[in-house]
Amino acid sequence: MKKNVITLGICFLLGSGIVLVLYAASNKIVHTPNSFLRIYKKNVTTRINELDLDFNSYYVAGITGDRIVLGNITAPSKLLLINNNLADSQHVTLRIRNINNPTIHQGSTIKLHSPYFYIADGVEPVIYRGRTGQWEADRFGYDDHAYFTQIIPIGNASFAIRTNMPGSFDNVLGKVQSDSPRIQLKPSLLQKQIDGVFCTDGQLLYNRDLKQLIYMYYYRNEYIVYDTSLQLSYRGHTIDTFSRAQINVGYINSSKSKQLMSKTTVNIRGATSGNYLFIMSGLLARNDGKDSFLRNSIIDVYDLRTDNYRFSFSLPKYNQAWARDIFVVDKTLIALYDHYVVQYHFNEEEFQ
């Protein structure tokens, strides 16, 4: 009897020990510092306001006048308008005019480009346009069927899009507009490294001040800067050393699909305003403390005019949550944390 308990105890320690060793080994791989260095600046931002949104499904649709407009992934026809000091908020329900039984489908995104807002549904595909402040939209002249997976308005009647190539489904960047040529695709902008879909995944951004589009890859140290006629300006590089997408893709014949197995996210989220590109990085530099990553998000700042890394700053966690998205306009940084929105002010002298 006693012997049995001892044997069970040994088996228990052996079993849990093996798993904990695996855990420690995988932890070590994830948190190994990389060979690049960051230049940290302190006091880059000052937190000025915060607001509890109650739901974690909000995203920043844009800014109009003195209001921040938040869209909601799970309720695409609802907007939340909050004023600049986050003190006052107002719920708005979007309406579509002149159409029988209009529905705003799940997956639609709201994007602002003053004086208009757009409801973009890449699956249908359909775009509605209306004036900000009135929050009523009409179907926008967009009758060609061009599906898209990301979209940003770049003028009153034109949009930068990311879609998939017919046949191969590789990601491709392009543009749709109401004038001819309605759809333009530029396959040479994205460079396939592994499978064409996951390896080229990233975030599409538009800098209104420089009139430049930016596509930031998630899994390699690169961002593509191109103009609104889809001409490549340059390929910029983030400070880490991952020039090849850090992913593994698995293929499952029984469901005719491929899945992303493992990944190292180099660039988590991006934002751009003025001359700068802000990238929330997923990698530790050689001079980063391990616990700094546990307590902060790290934002690297790049100068888009010169394609240079400028400096980094840390954005502390808020209520135990890391920032899940950032949005920058002029001297304001808006960060979303779980179900909170927090507003920071940039201390100007850092941007000389």
Partner 1 sequence: MKRQLAIEIICFLFVLLFVYAALIKWMDIQKFTVQLGQSPLLMAFADWFVWVVPTVELIISAMLVFRVTRLAGLYAAFTLMVMFTVYIVVILTYADHIPCSCGGILEDMQWNEHLIFNIAFVLLAATGTSLMTMPSKPETNETKIYYAS
258 secondary structure, DSSP code:
E
The yes or no reply on residue 253 touching partner 1 (CB under 8 A) is: yes
15 is a contact residue toward partner 1 (CB under 8 A): yes
| Strands of the 116-121 sheet, one edge to the other | 95-96, 136-139, 126-131, 116-121, 109-113
* Contact pick of 259, 287, 306, 319 for partner 1 (by CB under 8 A): 259
DSSP H or E segment with residue 294: helix 290-295
Tell me if 29 contacts partner 1 by CB under 8 A. yes
Q: Is 232 in the site for partner 1 (CB under 8 A)?
A: no
261 binds partner 1 (CB under 8 A): yes
CA Rg value for the chain: 23
- Please identify which residue in 101, 255, 320, 352 interacts with partner 1, judged by CB under 8 A: 255
User: With binding defined as CB under 8 A, does residue 65 bind partner 1?
Assistant: no
Which of residues 177 and 246 has its CB atom nearest to partner 1 in the complex? Answer: 246
Stretch that binds partner 1, among 113-121, 195-203, 259-267, 311-319 (CB under 8 A): 259-267
Q: Does residue 87 bind partner 1 (CB under 8 A)?
A: no
What string marks each residue from 233 to 252 as x (binds partner 1 by CB under 8 A) or -? ---------------x-xxx
**Does residue number 156 form part of the binding site for partner 1 (CB under 8 A)?**
no
Would strands 116-121 and 158-164 be described as parallel, antiparallel, or unpaired?
unpaired
Binding flag, residue 32, partner 1 (CB under 8 A): no
What does the alpha-carbon distance between residue 344 and residue 338 come to, in Å, rounded to a whole number? Answer: 16
Contacting range for partner 1; rule: CB under 8 A; set: 5-13, 46-54, 63-71, 277-285: 5-13
CA–CA separation, 294 and 283 (whole Å): 12
- Could you tell me the two tokens for 171? 């990601």
**306 lies in the binding site for partner 1 (CB under 8 A):** no
Asked whether position 319 contacts partner 1 by CB under 8 A, the answer is no
DSSP string, 74-119: SSTTEEEEEETTS--EEEEE-EE-SSSS----TT-EEEEETTEEEE
The token pair at 347 is 């201390």
DSSP 9-25: HHHHHHHHHHHHHHHHH
3-state secondary structure of 134: coil
State which residue, 23 or 169, has the beta carbon closest to partner 1: 23
In this complex, which beta carbon is closest to partner 1, that of residue 1 or of residue 87? 1
Which residues are at the interface with partner 1 (CB under 8 A)? Answer: 1, 3-4, 7-8, 11-12, 14-16, 18-20, 22-23, 25-26, 29-30, 248, 250-255, 259-262
